[in-house]
A = this chain, B = another copy of it.
């Protein structure tokens, strides 16, 4: 099912999470921030440049390898995976795909090595599921552009050195590389979240931010460019949440075999075996459809509809899996001693972001029927 190389990468990623992140995750989550030093660990492991070209220091890995790494990271924590998703799919990718050679050389080596962190500014507070109606605007000036607007729910936004901001320029959505230290650029953390607490989430404000001409990503044009980035990220999410399902299955098996009630291990009761069978089925189902998608992606034969399908499907299965595992753990499940509640809290963001479940329902509906039922 996996090649030797793919196995090696998957094992290394799992080991990295186990040895470098696992011990601190619950504390980091409780504290509610993304630790600076984790950036170095991710960079060292090359996880900030997985799909970026080798020319810029990236791993230039296949979609499957990208997926396997996301899976290992999210088995750790969705916040950890989100960090890597953003850097890879939402910053590196648009710069490499829509940028000039100069832009690539300027930014990618630093991004890949973790010297600079990026974020992706598409969503706005009032336009969550309908980014095409965004209010952020760019005006052309003699020397460049002026941007005005605000962005919401921006992962890595407070940590970021640069942002890829999407704004309407003469009515067309375009991408701009915007350093976060420019005059007029401000940001603030989204207040207390009960999800993705180990992730940095920001609100960005752009007030008359002046950009040079070189800030524009010239290859970007229309919402479809932003959606191309989201597609990469959604693929990574679909793989990431497989890590949650797997960790829930592993935990449920371990706990139910060790915990005894009525003189027998929990694992010997029919009601618990039913839960375990459901966890196992969810994992297997989600895995093979994701593998197939990864193989098609390698051959550029993937389709946005299939990516919507696996983002929607796997996230829903992961959400159910966390609940099933939670039930097996009984009272113990609410404690931070086990990762169940943390995954339960995290998956709620993952269920919603990068296209809510319902939005992917309608993307699939439109794909299947040709009818637009969004509005």
CB of A351, distance to nearest CB on chain B (Å): 8
Docked CA distance A1–B327 (Å): 35
Interface contact A356-B374, CB-CB below 8 Å: no
- If A291-B288, A361-B271 touch, does A253 touch B334 (CB 8 Å cutoff)? no
Interface contact A373-B269, CB-CB below 8 Å: yes
Complex partner residue of A365 from B263, B273, B292, CB under 8 angstroms:
B273
Interface contact A349-B330, CB-CB below 8 Å: no
Residues of B within 8 A of A369 (CB): 253, 256-257, 265, 267-268, 273, 276
Q: Name A's interface SS.
A: helix
Residues of B within 8 A of A152 (CB): 331
Residues of B within 8 A of A357 (CB): 327
Interface contact B288-A193, CB-CB below 8 Å: no
Interface contact B349-A194, CB-CB below 8 Å: no
Residues of B within 8 A of A191 (CB): 335-337
CB of A9, distance to nearest CB on chain B (Å): 20
- If A327-B358, A361-B273 touch, does A375 touch B309 (CB 8 Å cutoff)? no
- If A194-B336, A262-B374 touch, does A273 touch B348 (CB 8 Å cutoff)? no
Across the A-B interface, give the 8 residue pairs with the lowest CB-CB distance, nearest first.
Answer: A273-B365, A194-B341, A262-B375, A268-B371, A270-B270, A267-B369, A195-B334, A192-B336
Since A194-B334, A277-B360 are in contact, a sample of 11 more A-B pairs with Cβ atoms closer than 8 Å, ordered by chain A residue number, is: A1-B292, A26-B192, A123-B331, A129-B261, A257-B370, A267-B368, A276-B364, A277-B309, A284-B309, A287-B289, A327-B356
6 contacts between A and B (CB under 8 A): A262-B374, A272-B365, A280-B309, A280-B364, A285-B286, A326-B348
Q: List the interface of chain A (C-beta within 8 A of B).
A: 1, 26, 30, 123, 126-130, 133, 152-153, 190-196, 253, 256-257, 260-265, 267-274, 276-277, 280-281, 284-289, 291-292, 306, 309, 312-313, 326-327, 330-331, 333-337, 341-342, 344-345, 348-349, 351-353, 356-358, 360-362, 364-366, 368-375
